[in-house]
Structure formats: C-alpha cells, structure tokens
Chains A and B, each alone.
Chain A
Amino acid sequence: MAKKRSTLGTRWNWLKSITALAVSVFFFAPFYIILSLSFKPRTDRTSYWLFPKEPTFDAYAYALDRGDIGLAIINTLIVTFFSVILVLIFGAIAAYPLSRHKTRLNTLILSCFVGVMMVPPLSVLVPIYKELVTLGGINTYWGIILLTVTYSLPMSVFMFTNFIKSIPKELDEAALIDGCSQFMIFPRIILPNMAPVISSVLILTSVSIWNDYSFQLYVLQKPKLKTITLAISSFFTEGNSNMPAAAAATVLSVLPVAIIYLCLQKYFIQGTMDSAIK
C-alpha cells in the first residue's frame, strides 16, 4: 500500500514538473524569439524560431549607435529612480494617517485615491500637457517625474494603507508608552515593518514607469531625452521597420529590469500577499 502511494506521489511530482516546464517554455518563447532576432542581419528572412547560423552583433551596434539605446537606458533610469523614490516617500507618508485615523474625511480621501486610479490617464492628456507647457515642464526630467509620480501615487497609497491597517495598533501604543513621540512612531515602528509592501510598490511602480510610453512620448520630445520605449519605437516608422535593431534594443533594456526583479522577487511575492491580507 505504502509502495503504491509512493509511486502515485512520484507520478504526481513528474506531472507537476512537466506542467511547470511547459508553462516556462510558453513564457520563455517570446524572449527566445527576441534574442534570436537580435542576432540576425536585417535581410535574414528565416523563421523567427531558428537561431541564426552566423550570429551578428550588427543590430546591437545599430541600436547603441543610431538608436542611442545607452542614453535611453540612462534617461529611463533617471526617470524611474526619482519617480519611485518620490512615490515611496509620499505614498508611505500619506498612507499612515489614512490607515490609522479612520475619520470620515480620511475615508473620503482614500476613496478619491481609488477613484483617480479608474481615470484613464490619456483622457486628460491635453489639459495636463497645457499645464506642463505653462509650467515649463516639457522636455525636462522634472516634468515627466511630476507626471509619473502623480499617476503612480494613488496605487501606492492604496497598497500602503491596506498594509499599515494590518499592523496592530497596539505597537503604536506600546511605542508611546515607551516614550516614543507621535511623529517618530512612523519612521521607527511602522516603516521597518513595511519592507515587503515597499518592495511590492517599488517593483510595480518601477516596472510601470520603465515601460511607460504615452506620457514619455508627449513630455520628452527631445532626442537626447528619449527613454527606452521611445528609442525602441523609433525603429518602427511609417513604412519602415528594423526588427533586429528593435529586438537588440529590447534585450538591452529588459536586462536591468529582469536583474532587479530576480533579486527582489522573494520580497515581491511576499509583499503582494501581505498587502492583500488585511
């Protein structure tokens, strides 16, 4: 009986492994195609599934030289880094009173944050663009950072608020009894407990900013300010496309995000689960 159970268990494990492998292959396929394409010359018309017999780095050279993908990565890093820092700081600071002081006003403010998340950002593009022109924010880093932070904050406030609600209020009271001031409770007691949700917000926000196209297209119009998405799109114009160069640029731009994600994925998964549980 025990032997039969063990055989069943082994089969079940095999089935799980095969399913996991199949799913992995399915998700890896687009990356393989991009990688394979990036090593092909522009005139190579073989199937995307076939890796080139004579791989070439021409597309990478073109992407770095004509596409200025190196500068685009630096620009994207600047926009993403400062936007995420500001989103984390303002999001956490705003979320603390909203979660701890359950007044009618705070409930209304939180509802407003959630409501704003439902508004498609591009639907208010023209007034925002006009405002940025008036402020002199077009073609500046601060312009795109301001816009990005504005649209990323509601989600971070929402996630932070839900997470802080799950931290027992008794911790605040104990800190007060131990002599901690009201203002220092947040940085000393609450903030250290928020690591999982901070990594969650950090990853979600940075990936969304890293991949943003629409806002960056309108705000960053100078070639020297182009971000990765804008640089990649420049390989596709009306009537002309350079797929290998676009693929090479994609590989180069995916690497930083992939490395960050792999380093933080443990926190990401944990944080997503924790912030979902009140």
Chain B
Amino acid sequence: MKKLFTIVLVSFCTIASLMAGGSKEQAADDGALHGSLTVATNASSPTFEAVEKVIELFMEENPGVEVEYTTYGSDYENLMKARMAANDLPDVFATHGWAVNRYAEYLMPLNDLELSQRISPSVIDTVTTDDGSIVAMPITMEQSGIIYNKTILKEAGWDHVPRTLDEFYQCCEDVKALGIAPVYITGKDTRIQANMMDIMAVSMLITCNDAGDNAERLYDGTFDWSKWAPVSSFITELRDRGYTNVDATTADPIYTQEKLAFGEAMFNFNNQAMITSAWELNPDADLSMMPVPAFHEDDEQIWIGGERECYGIWKDSPNKELAIALLEFMARPENAKIVCDMAGMPAGFIDIDSEQKLSEDYAQFADLKIYPYFDREWLPSGMWATMRTIGGALTAGEMSVEDSCRAMSDSYLSLMSQQ
C-alpha cells in the first residue's frame, strides 16, 4: 500500500513539475527584445526549411527571443479551425490563401508597418479586407497553372505548351501514346480534384468570352449552377478518355513528388512548391509551370495566384511587439530573398530580386493576368469540402455531372443563407 501511495505521490509531483514553466514575456527594459513566440504554418520542405532559417537568423539577432516554429502539414486547417473556435491562435500563423475570407477577424492590421508599403500589387488585394486593412504579409506569392514535364512534352511532339482546352486534350492523347500517365491524380486525398476544378472553374466560368455576368451572380447568390457542368466534365473527360493514372481513385499524394521527379507523369495540378519538392529527389527533373489553358479558342490563358507563404499576427496575441519585430525581420529584402530562392516561389514584395529556375518560363507568359482561386473569391467559405466530395465521386464514377451541379448548388445556397 505504501508503495502504491508513493507511486501516486511521485506521479502527481512529477506532473506538477512538468506543468511549470513556459512563460511568455516581452520585457524590453534594456532595449533588447525578450520572450517567446509561437509561429505555425502548413508549409512543407523546402519552404519550411527556408522560413526556419530566417527565424534562426532572427533569434541570432535577438538572443533574448525564442521562436517556436512548427508545421502541421495537412492537419493545419483542422487544427486552426479548432483553435479559432477556442480563440486560441498562435502568435504568428500562416494564412494559406485564406487571410481575408477566413482569418481576417483574428488578424491584426499591418497597414502601419513599413512592410505593407512593399507588398506586390499583384497580391495585395488577396490580403486586404473590404475596409482596406492589410491583414497578412505574403513573403512568397503563387503563380500557378499546371505543372508539366518539358522533356515529355518534346517527346510527345509538342514545341509549345497547350494553349486551349482542346490542345490540352490532344497533348494528353499524345503523351498517353508514349505510355506515360498524362494527368496524375491522387484520389486518396480528394484535394487534388478540388484543386483541378478550382483552377479550371476560373477559366470556364469567369474569364471565358461567354462568361457574361457569372461573377456578379456568384457574388449575389443567383448563379445558375447548370453552368458548372463543363468544370465537372473536365474530370469525367480525363477519366473516360484514359488520360489519368490507372490508380487515380486510390493513389496517395505522397507519391506525386516521386512521379514528377522521375518523369512518370506529365501534368499535375499543384503549385510551384511541388516542383521544388520534386527537385529535392531529382534536381535534373525537367519540370515547369504552364498557364491554365483557355476554355475557348479565342479566350485568353490565365494564371491562378494569390498569397503563398503568408503570415499574419493574431490580434489578441500577448506578444504583439515580438510578432511585429519578427514580421519586419522576415520582410527585409535579404531575408525574404532567402525564402523565395529556397522555395522557388516568386516574391510577394516589390523589391526582391529572386533568382529561380522557372523565371525564364514565367517570362514567356508575363503578359497573362493572375486571377484568384475560384473558391476563395467567388464561393462562400465551406465550399471546398463540397468540391472535394464531388471531385472524388466524379473520378470514381460514383456521380454524374448533373448530380455534381445539383450538389454544388445545394451546398452553395445553404452556405449563402448562413452568411
């Protein structure tokens, strides 16, 4: 009995001692910064390592500050939703494209900081709320379309990237003849199908010549969802014509990096970070990014973009002074350049001269406009989940295009009524 009692006592004492510690302070009596900060992101390698390096430099410059920088990868969104519900957010956190639509009410305006004057005009709107508050700082920005392999493109007999949707299908046919999967889809995680629709929907519903007043109707809730059919059909066409990998419904996204690195897939709907990841495995992988194909022959091609590695400060953070110091440090041209160079992403600031492998390829399409992702701009928050559901069902042949339009309509009307 005595032993049992001792064990219990020791257990409680140890737990109590483990509870102690972890105070946050930012006393600045000696002018230097002191305290601790938590910084959270969903970034993967090499972006994570790049930001981590900059944070280490910050800690070297401010020995009294300890920054805990961590990534939650694909769990990040769920974790942040729980933390928003509890109003308990990290001091500084990545907004992953949702700075305005999801996180704005939790973020501190950065308009008074010098860094806000340097944010690139092509990305500033995505971090600015309707009342003009700049709520996040984009270190890198996204300029995405479709990842492709330049060597396979040449082998398939193409000297230019497909300009229209019809050319894209033809290119897929030619690549298929080489015995290579034209479009690599990883259906185990339906994010990729949702992303495909998110990108193609802008071209098919917003920027095409017959778009009419689609954008306005999406804003005011009167959109005719039968017009969504071409977007869903894009996935069913790829499936029916055999332009996807054979395991499209079950493939795990963790293999995308490998498939792209070793030339086993031609096209993939992801951002530049995936190309940089593939180069980690094979630095010679001949990968690049092409703009989104035009829906009709006479339409313009477009880029999809917005903020990428972008950080905001929690408005209720007890360590605002430290958080501001960190953001200002990260925004310094030499530090932002480190992130852009290592991550292989364009800078979110106007004065960063970043050298990247893809710069030449991007330069060919410099005159194309950059549009935001469809769901971030034209859909109410929450539609991403619906797009994932229908994307997965369309790939697996469990849902017709008409049913997918109805599902989108139902979800859209339901979410609009809650706004």
B277 touches A234 (CB 8 A): no
In the complex, how many angstroms separate the beta carbon of A67 from the nearest chain B beta carbon?
12
Q: Is B19's CB under 8 angstroms from A221's CB?
A: no
* Contact of A222 with B70 at beta-carbon distance under 8 Å, contacts A45-B262, A237-B44, A238-B42 already known: yes
Is the pair B1, A187 in contact by a Cβ cutoff of 8 Å? yes
Report if A243 contacts B (CB, 8 A).
Answer: yes
Evaluate contact between B42 and A130: CB separation under 8 angstroms.
no
* Binary flags per residue of A29-55, CB closer than 8 Å to B gives 1, else 0: 000000000000011010000000000
Q: In the complex, which residues 98-116 of chain A have their Cβ closer than 8 Å to any Cβ of chain B?
A: none
Which of chain A's residues have a CB closer than 8 A to the CB of B45?
237, 240, 242
Q: A217-B72, A237-B48, A239-B277 are in contact. Are A141 and B15 (CB under 8 A)?
A: yes
| Complex CA–CA separation, A233 to B78 (angstroms) | 15
Q: Which residues of A contact B280 (CB under 8 A)?
A: 240
Contact A126 B86 (CB under 8 A): yes
Chain A interface category by residue count? 35 or more
Interface status of A89 (Cβ within 8 A of chain B): yes
- Indicate whether B14 reaches chain A with its CB closer than 8 angstroms: yes
User: Is residue B389 within 8 Å, beta carbon to beta carbon, of the partner chain?
Assistant: no
Contact residues of A: prevailing secondary structure: helix
A187 engages B82 (CB within 8 Å): no
Are A240's CB and B19's CB within 8 A?
no
- How many contacting A-B pairs (Cβ < 8 A)? 102
Could you tell me how many residues of chain B have their Cβ less than 8 Å away from some Cβ of chain A?
49
Determine if B85 and A130 form an interchain contact, defined as CB atoms under 8 angstroms apart.
yes
Contact assessment for B254 and A243 in the assembled complex, using a CB-CB cutoff below 8 Å: yes
Instruction: Give bound CA distance, A218 to B76, whole Å.
Output: 10
Is A241's CB within 8 Å of the partner chain B? yes
Q: Bits for B76-97, please: 1 = Cβ < 8 Å to A, else 0.
A: 0001001101111010000000
Residue of A nearest to B48 (CB): A237
Q: Does A133 contact B (CB under 8 A)?
A: yes
A218–B80 Cα distance when bound, in Å, is 9
Q: Could you give, for residues 126-144 of chain A, a 1 whenever the CB lies within 8 Å of some chain B CB and a 0 otherwise?
A: 1001100100001111100
Question: Is A126 a contact partner of B85 (Cβ separation < 8 A)?
Answer: yes
Q: Which of B1-25 contact A (CB under 8 A)?
A: 1, 4, 7-8, 11, 14-16, 18-19, 22
Least CB separation from B274: chain A residue: A239
Please determine whether A240 and B4 come into contact, CB atoms closer than 8 angstroms: no
- In the bound complex, CA of A42 to CA of B336 (Å): 29
Q: Name B202-237 residues within 8 Å CB distance of A.
A: none
Residues of B within 8 A of A43 (CB): 281-282
Scan B15-59; emit 1 where CB is below 8 A from any A CB, else 0.
110110010000000000000001010111100100000000000
Give complex CA distance A179, B30 in Å. Answer: 71
Write the nearest CB–CB distance from A252 to chain B, whole angstroms. Answer: 20
From A19-27, A78-86, A159-167, give the one contacting chain B.
A78-86
* Nearest chain B CB to A77 CB, angstrom units: 12
Interface pair B38/A222, CB less than 8 Å apart: yes
Q: Does A180 contact B (CB under 8 A)?
A: no
User: Is A145 part of the binding interface, using a Cβ–Cβ cutoff of 8 Å?
Assistant: yes
**Would you call A125 an interface residue if the criterion is a C-beta within 8 Å of the partner chain's C-beta atoms?**
yes
Q: How far is the CB of B397 from chain A (nearest CB, A)?
A: 26
A residues 212-243 near B (Cβ < 8 Å) are: 217-218, 221-224, 233-234, 236-243
Chain B residues contacting A234 (CB-CB under 8 Å) are 71, 73
Q: A129-B86, A221-B70 are in contact. List 9 more A-B contacts (CB 8 A).
A: A43-B281, A78-B18, A142-B16, A218-B79, A237-B73, A239-B256, A240-B45, A240-B277, A241-B254
| A/B interface sample: 7 pairs, CB < 8 A | A45-B258, A82-B11, A142-B19, A233-B73, A233-B75, A238-B42, A241-B255
Task: Name B's A-contacting residues (CB within 8 A).
Answer: 1, 4, 7-8, 11, 14-16, 18-19, 22, 38, 40, 42-45, 48, 68-75, 79, 82-83, 85-88, 90, 191, 253-258, 262, 270, 273-274, 277, 280-282
